[in-house]
Structure 1
């Protein structure tokens, strides 16, 4: 599954999962949550770190898609790609209020929607050939980690 993904994007992508994994672990392990609160502060444990970081990452991914939109050809495809690229940031802005469970569920839907956009941009040959492999891996882990706060 990881074959063909360049080392730098893979390593940085995996490192970017740390706040999601950490947040999930601190929800599952009360002693780890206590350690995190005492040493890092309450903002950096449980759903708080996941929700804030998840909003940041959806916004960041809008920028990535915007960059890929610059490769689109033709006025119609370019306009569509630019319009689609802002959806993850707008989703994060409008859909992450209302408490940790609803915000977490909305982030799950946001990341799944982002994956669909990644696939569309890939089908239009605007991304590197390895892009969807990387995004499938990262999205799977993000959704799993966010699910801890939503469903457990």
Structure 2
């Protein structure tokens, strides 16, 4: 396997982690699906509601991932890495209130910003070589999914 090829486990788990985002978009666009989802799972698990709740969790999770990468750095770079790693969780905490459109928009900015942080840690050599290929793929799908609740 090439060093830049995404291993099966992270790729599969990353794609599976997209399910709440994609499901939220589909249940927003297809009223019958939303009705079925509401009856089966409850109202919190359809449309933008699942996206917003899950998106805040994932940004917080990604803070932990970045923190893990920061442990590979030394000195001032480590200190900067630790500080940067807290941004996604703090963004999720402070910026996801105020209604579904503003929260969704802020999540979109959060995930776009996370991609920049991913690139920073990647450029410092702290991530696997395949990291940006995975993160770009996942981020594009997350942003597309969140945009459904923001734009429609």
2:52 aligns with 51
How do residues 70-149 of structure 1 correspond to structure 2 at under 5 angstroms? Answer: 70-73=71-74, 75-149=75-149
Shift of 1:122: 0.3
Deviations 1:50-93 (A, max 9, x none): 000000000000000000000012x2101100000000000000
Secondary structure in 1 aligned to 2:98? coil
Alignment partner of 1:17 is 2:4:
no
Gapped regions of structure 1 (runs ≥ 5): none
Deviations 1:69-118 (A, max 9, x none): 00012x21011000000000000000000000000000000000000000
- TM-score, normalising length: structure 1: 0.97
**Ranges of 4+ aligned residues in structure 1 off by more than 4 Å:** none
Residue ranges of structure 2 left out of the alignment (5+ in a row): none
Query: How far apart are the structure 1 equivalents of 2:33 and 2:90?
Result: 33
Q: Match of 2:33? A: 32
The CA distance in 2 between the partners of 1:72 and 1:106, in whole Å, is 30
Count of matched residue positions in the alignment of Structure 1 and Structure 2: 149
Task: Give 1:34 shift.
Answer: 0.3
Q: What is the rounded CA distance, in whole Å, between the counterparts of 2:73 and 2:10 in structure 1? A: 22
Q: Secondary structure at the match of 2:73?
A: coil
SS of the aligned residue for 1:126 comes to coil
Secondary structure of 2:128's counterpart equals: coil
